[in-house]
Amino acid sequence: MLQIMNIGITDVAVIGGGLAAMYAALEASNYDKSVVIISKKPVGRSGASVISKSVHRFPPDHLKEKLSYKNKIIEAGRYINNRDLVDTFVEHASQKMDNIEKLKVGLNFKEKLIDGKNHKYFAACKPKMGKHLTIPLSNIIKTKDNINIMEGYMAVQIVIERDTVCGILIENKNRLYFLGAKAVVIATGGGGYNYIQTSNTNDLTGDGYAMALRAGLPLIDMEFIQFYPYRTVYPFQHDIFPDIFSHGAKYLNEKGERFMDKYPKKELENRDILSREMFFQKEIYLNIEDCDKDFMKEECDDLYDNYLKYKGEQIKVSPVAHFMMGGVKINADTSTDVRGLFCCGEVAGGLHGANRLAGHALTETVVFGHIAGEESAHYAGSKTKISVNFVKEETANWVPNIGEESPTNIKNILRRNMWESAGIVRNEDDLQRAKDKVEELEQQIKNLKPLKLRDWIECQNMIQTSKMIIDSCILRKESRGAHYRSDFPEEDINWQRNIIIN
């Protein structure tokens, strides 16, 4: 059994290195609290944020517009969104985006005229690359004397005593450490790397979901995975800015047919519909011959450069696992059922319901990252001391001894299994096969003695996350939003509710 070394105490510990984690850490630091960020990869270069298109869509600060926006979110979520989270998002988004603008981190804002006054509604970097936002933000964080960064460290387990958080178990180079914390914010992002075809980076292994489960927290809406229908796979890999379909771009199948012609919004239909239609085609190609080239050069110059580089070649596209609508069940103030434990960003569930509107993922990090930072700081301020002496080696008795083996093959089998049997189109037989295979892999990982402990923990987290996804998919015997079952192809009013698993 591995020994655990105590490494100190902080007011607020933030787990993650992407936008939600950085916003939470920055906000908590503004209340003169000591903050520690624990991130597997370099802060500002972690998770989905850094490879995003940097696009933020949000409701203008106008009453009528907010009401309309709220209805669009709920309609996209097929009426099972957490209304408190939706209200919070809509009410605070514009103000929080104003706060981000003041940081001068490279976002360019667009406005539209409403009732004689200009209102912001959109923001992105130029060019539209997430790193042009995440890296400047990380540079600001590094100037804060009360924020310490632990890069290359992985949070393994939330340590709890009497339903109250008291710290985090952390791994680095096959060693375990305990960091005492008055408050903890989980901002680890999603788990898209569970699928072999994904836009996610390889650090998004469902760590936050698995830690939450080990802490006894419920997960909500885990069956809803958004498969992103806007990604080229050959001759170059690149996300596609969806707005180009309003300027002449289109998808064609192997027969040269525009298969989305039967839908009013064409390629701008809800992502679940578009991904499903793409799934049923043999091949899909992006045709941008008739696209407004001035618009492309202005709004997606990197895609335009690739278009020129590979001119004459067909640009093949495919849907990929992109975003998890489900996650840890939270309250509107980002608190959870464990006192002192908060969650924000993609790891939290409930805001989006059965599907997410385009451009809301990064705005979600702004709104709820700030709230998590503020609330965790206030909570930490109410605590005079925490328990740190009780942490024993038994706390991590589920962690294996070090050996010579690698779980890489188990990871790869798991990822293929999830794509083939719990992907875009699902049915009872495939889901049951997926469940059986995951249970088989779970037994294999239990008996494995890894050369690198982190690889084993990530694999364990992927298995736990996959089990929750599959169980939720099996339970929901209908099709709704991003969850499509060929054996239950219709939406059922009796299933206008959430599945909660713990």
Burial 141-170 (b: 16+ CB within 10 A, else e): beeeebbebbbebbbbbbbbeeeebbbbbb
The total of other beta-carbon atoms located within 10 Å of residue 111's CB is 12
Alpha carbons within 13 angstroms on the beta-carbon side of residue 371 total: 24
Task: Quote the CA–CA distance of 71 and 77 in Å, as a whole number.
Answer: 10
Q: Which residues sit opposite 169 in a β-bridge?
A: 157, 178
Peptide bond into 127 cis (omega under 30): yes
The per-residue DSSP string of 344-400 comes to: -GGGEESSSTT---TTHHHHHHHHHHHHHHHHHHHHHHH-S----TT--GGGGTTSP
Tokens 């680095």 found at? 172
Cα distances (angstroms) measured from residue 100 to each of 60, 362, 373, 411: 15, 12, 14, 38
Q: Which helix (H) or strand (E) holds 6?
A: strand 4-15
pLDDT of res. 397:
80
Q: What is the pLDDT of residue 245?
A: 97
Catalytically active residues are: 271
Do residues 147 and 373 lie in contact, with contact meaning Cβ atoms separated by under 8 Å?
no
What is the structure's pLDDT at 388? 60
Please say whether the beta carbons of 165 and 183 come within 8 A: yes
The pLDDT score that the predictor gives to residue 396 is: 72
Distance CA(231)–CA(323), nearest Å, equals 13
CA distance 376 to 364: 17
Residue 185 has phi, psi (to 5 degrees) of: -115, 120
As a whole number of angstroms, the distance between CA 328 and CA 345 comes to: 10
pLDDT tens, position by position, for the chain (502 residues)? 678 899 999 999 999 999 999 999 999 999 999 999 999 999 999 999 999 989 999 999 999 999 999 999 999 999 999 999 999 999 999 999 999 999 999 999 999 999 999 999 999 998 889 999 999 999 999 999 999 999 999 999 999 988 999 999 999 999 999 999 999 999 999 999 999 999 999 999 999 999 999 999 999 999 999 999 999 999 998 889 899 999 999 999 999 999 999 999 999 998 889 999 999 999 999 999 999 999 999 888 889 999 999 988 999 999 999 999 999 999 999 999 999 999 999 999 999 999 999 899 999 999 999 999 999 999 999 987 776 655 666 667 888 989 999 999 999 999 999 999 999 999 999 999 999 999 999 999 999 999 999 999 999 999 999 999 999 999 999 999 999 999 999 999 999 999 999 8
Domains (range + CATH), the chain: 4-224+323-393 (3.50.50.60), 230-318 (3.90.700.10), 400-501 (1.20.58.100)
Cβ atoms < 10 Å from Cβ of 285: 19
- Nearest partner of 405 among 437, 440, 451, 444, judged by Cα: 451
CB atoms within 10 A of CB 45: 20
How far is 427 from 423, CA to CA, in rounded Å? 10
Cis ω for the linkage preceding 242 (within 30 of 0): no
Q: How many C-beta atoms lie closer than 10 Å to residue 62's C-beta?
A: 17
Q: Which of 221, 492, 191 has the alpha carbon at shortest distance from 353?
A: 221
Strand order in the sheet with 219-220: 348-349, 327-329, 219-220, 500-501
Taking alpha carbons only, the member of 350, 334, 349, 344 closest to residue 364 is 344
Structure tokens at 234: 């050959």
Distance between CA atoms of residues 71 and 56, nearest Å: 18
State residue 389's pLDDT score: 56
How far is it, in rounded angstroms, from Cα 86 to Cα 73? 8
